[in-house]
Structure 1
């Protein structure tokens, strides 16, 4: 096991259950400090208590926010920047899956399609908001938990207003996350901040998998190991712009390598998260 110094700090989103909880506990057991994000105060307190019970030397702090609301994402980034002296890694694990009613299109606080908002816009906006802290702490790592389930992003119908289906929306949002991974890795090359994405495991036993009605095939621990590796493995220092299927470099959906499609997606994304005025 790669041990971490106490000051090594990782923020894990969606850390109150499933993969996020497993990743947070693994990193804490290595001696590092973990910042737990979640929506429910009670579940946050429970996982924080689990971390403290490990008594492995690091610290634990909690941050509550609903990532489907970009205003709360911005506020979360501001709170972390103000409170934390450093940030060595950021694991984007929080997810909106296919949902229990997949034909019912849901929207975020800002009116964006919900899967796109939680799985793509929120990670991008949070990374942007925390870049000052990440670059000041460099070398630092951003890990995007993506999926092998990927579908072409319709750039003319980004909000999936035509023929909506929840799992398809999830697959589009995960491809958008991978495309943003490649774009940010290219932009941040040379800053000491790396950005990578992975498919952690196939059909893990998580709430999102069960909610859609799918049958889990493996335990959460199968996804914890490859995810944590991207945070701690010294051999991955400086490695950026990769998509991995668990431990192995893999080829994402072909659209991820279309530079014009990436440019269009990121321009739309910047507008949606408020980095570019809506009318510009």
Structure 2
């Protein structure tokens, strides 16, 4: 097991259940400081107690925010920046899956399609908000928990207003997250901050998988190992702008490598999350 110094700090979003909780427990057992994000105060407090119980010297702090609201995402970034002396790793694990009623198109607080908002816009906005702290802590790593389930984006209908279906929306949002990974990897080259995405395991035993009516095939522990490798593995130091299927460096959906598609997606993403255009 790779041991971490007590000051090594990782923020895990969606840490109150599933992969996020298991990942937080693993990192705490290695000795690192773990920052837990969740949107339910009671569940967040309970997980914080569990993580403290296995901790090997690092600290545990909890941050409450609803990532379907970009205002709360910005507030979360500000609170972490104000309170934390460093941030060595940021793991975007929070997710909205296909949902129990996949034909119901849901919206975020800002009126964006919910799965795109939580699975793509929120992690991008949070990374942007925490970049000064990540850069000051460099070398630092951003890990985006994506999926092998990827569907081409309709760049003329990114909010999926036509022929909506929840699992397809999820797959589109995960491809958008991977495309943002590649864009940020290029942008941040040389800063000491790396950005990578991975599919951690197929059909883990999580609430999202069960809610859609799918049968889990593996426990969340199967997803922890490849995720931790990207967070702290020495062999991944300096690797950036890549997509991994568990431990393998593989190609994502072909649209992720289309520069024009990525440019169009990121231009809209920047506008929606309030990032100023270059030269503005």
Query: Is it true that 1:18 corresponds to 2:14 in the alignment?
Result: no
Q: Tell me if structure 1 keeps the 8 A contact 2:30–2:55.
A: no
What secondary structure sits across from 1:244 in the alignment? strand
Residues 190-245 of structure 1: per-residue CA shift (max 9 Å, x gap) = 00000000000000000000000000000000001100110110111100011000
- CA deviation digits over 1:253-278, x for unaligned, max 9? 0000001100110000000001148x
Task: Give unpaired runs (5+ residues) of structure 2.
Answer: none
Aligned pairs (5 A) from 1:119-198: 119-198=119-198
Residues 1:266 and 2:269 are matched in the alignment: no
- Cα distance between partner residues in 2 of 1:37 and 1:190: 29
> What whole-Å deviation, never above 9, does each CA across 1:42-76 have from its counterpart, x for those lacking one?
11111111111114100000000000000000000
Kindly tell me the number of residue pairs found equivalent between the two proteins: 278
- Distance between the aligned counterparts of 2:182 and 2:24, measured in 1? 25
Deviation at 1:122, TM superposition (A): 0.1
State the match for 1:47 in structure 2. Answer: 47
In structure 2, distance between residues paired with 1:204 and 1:267:
33
Q: Aligned partners of 2:209 and 2:272: how far apart in 1?
A: 28
Aligned equivalent of 1:243: 243
| Unaligned 5+ runs, structure 1 | none
Q: Provide the secondary structure at the position in 1 that maps to 2:62.
A: strand
SS in 1 for 2:230: helix
What's the Cα RMSD here?
Answer: 0.9
Other-structure match for 1:36 = 36
Say if 1:210 and 1:82 are closer, same or farther in 2 by CA, change over 3 A.
same
How far apart in 1 are the matches of 2:276 and 2:154? Answer: 21
C-alpha distance in structure 1 between counterparts of 2:163 and 2:235, whole Å: 44
TM-score between the two structures when normalised by the length of structure 2: 0.98
Q: Distance in 2 between matches of 1:54 and 1:168?
A: 38
Q: 1:207 aligned to 2:213?
A: no
Moved over 4 A (4+): none
Q: Structure 1-normalised TM-score?
A: 0.98
Partner of 2:233: 233
